[in-house]
Structure 1
Amino acid sequence: MQTSHTAAPATSAASLIRRATAVSWKPVLFAALLWLSAAAGEIPIPGTPVPITLQTFVVMLAGLMLTWRQAGSALALYIAAGAAGLPVFAGGASTMALVGPSAGFIFGFLPGAIVIALLRGKADTSSLTAAALTTARYLFATIIGGVAVVYAFGFLVQSALTGAPIAAVALASMGFVLGDIVKAVVAAAAAAGLTKLSR
């Protein structure tokens, strides 16, 4: 009897560790992908101090492929790594990026990914029509969360830090917005395709 009592807690603990590992590796993976997307390079846009990177694309994929809690954890981990001084932001920046012109965009990644995850709905790729509707829903979610939410944060903070009117900040950022709409289309199609492959 003693053996069965001690075996049950050990089995329960092992099961808990397995579940925690299964849930936590995805946020860590996406946090690492965010760093890699920033480290891969940046493209400057004249008239704005914020460069183009693939970070918003990874944010969109995180929202489309993770639960909202996992997506939020991935972005929180990424921001915390930069706040701790690790060079995870564009151009190898760390803590100072969180008080610079890109700060609003970086902080906007967190609610943006959560909104995407909450809006995307359940994937259904059982037929061509269902797959098309899933892709359209994914696109809507990425436009709202990955573009509208992220840019709302970005424009407000950049305007506050630079003293430029929000309209001027928005106009200077149109190149980013158009690029991120293209990224949203690619992310929605890729996530829907990966969902179909994993069935």
Structure 2
Amino acid sequence: MSNAHATLADSVWSRDPANSLVRGLILSVAGSMFIAVCARIQVPMWPVPITMLTFAVLFVSLVYGPRLALATVSLYLAQGIAGLPVFAAGGGIAYLMGPTGGYLLACLPAALVVGMLAQRGWGSRAVRVFLAMLAGSAIFYLVGASWLAIFVGPEKAIAAGVIPFLIGDAVKAMLAAALLPAAWKLLPRSI
């Protein structure tokens, strides 16, 4: 696979200076909407609900690569900060200051790291997709649980903000590992 088509998004809609801005805007808006919908799919728990947010952020990052993933996640966070109900339970700047704010802030470094892995070809083979998803999940745990620890202490942060999510995140990683290689196989061979 050449660097020009390292990500699925580049393979489907190549980067061309003539359409660069339009492409970026369309993909960022579509990606932020996907993340917002996935964030609302949840199993209520306290203090951190189980949602599809992490799946969406990491999946978009594997499809888009680092720059477009960062733009997309930044747009998603800006929408939430502006008060749009895109977070699991609403929106607004106060949401970021609460116990789950660290998980939202973790979206940025997770998107960067996983997007960089995608740019290096980690978005097309099942094992690499699975490992990239786990790496992204580890970033969510590190940042999110560290923030949560400020509110509930380190032991409770791990018990409530990491442990309940391990199996679900492994399942999400398996889902991505099944979907992305299948999407690559649907592309015409000339790409």
Where on the TM-score scale, by shorter chain, does this alignment land: which range? 0.7 to 0.9
1:90 aligned counterpart, secondary structure: coil
Structural mapping, 1:87-166, within 5 Å: 87-120=85-118, 121-122=120-121, 134-145=125-136, 147-160=137-150, 162-165=151-154
Residue 175 of structure 1 corresponds to: 164
Residue 185 of structure 1 corresponds to: 174
Provide the identity percentage: 32
Structural mapping, 1:67-78, within 5 Å: 67-78=65-76
Match among 183, 186, 189 for residue 197 of structure 1: 186
74-83 or 176-185, which deviates more: 176-185
Distance in 2 between residues matched to 1:143 and 1:191, nearest whole Å: 15
Distance in 1 between residues matched to 2:146 and 2:26, nearest whole Å: 33
Q: What displacement does 1:69 show?
A: 0.3
1:187 aligned counterpart, secondary structure: helix
Q: Letter of the 2:127 partner, please give it.
A: A
Which structure has the greater CA radius of gyration?
Answer: 1
What TM-score, normalized to structure 2? 0.82
Residue 61 of structure 1 corresponds to: 59
2:26 aligned counterpart, secondary structure: helix
Q: 1:17 to 1:87 in 2, by over 3 A?
A: farther
Structure 1 runs, 4 residues or longer, greater than 4 Å off: none
Distance in 2 between residues matched to 1:27 and 1:53, nearest whole Å: 21
What TM-score, normalized to structure 1? 0.79
Q: For structure 2, which runs of at least 5 residues remain unmatched after alignment?
A: 1-15
Distance in 2 between residues matched to 1:197 and 1:116, nearest whole Å: 22
Q: What displacement does 1:195 show?
A: 1.4
Q: Letter of the 2:91 partner, please give it.
A: A
Asked if the contact 1:35/1:78 (under 8 Å) is kept, the reply is yes
Asked if the contact 1:138/1:188 (under 8 Å) is kept, the reply is yes
Asked if the contact 1:60/1:184 (under 8 Å) is kept, the reply is no
Q: Deviations over 1:135-177 (max 9, x none)?
A: 11111111002x10111110111111x1412x33112231122
Residue 10 of structure 1 corresponds to: none
Q: Letter of the 2:121 partner, please give it.
A: K
Residue 82 of structure 1 pairs with residue 70 of structure 2: no
Name the one with the larger helix percent. Answer: 1
Distance in 2 between residues matched to 1:61 and 1:16, nearest whole Å: 25
Asked if the contact 1:123/1:192 (under 8 Å) is kept, the reply is no
Asked if the contact 2:38/2:51 (under 8 Å) is kept, the reply is yes
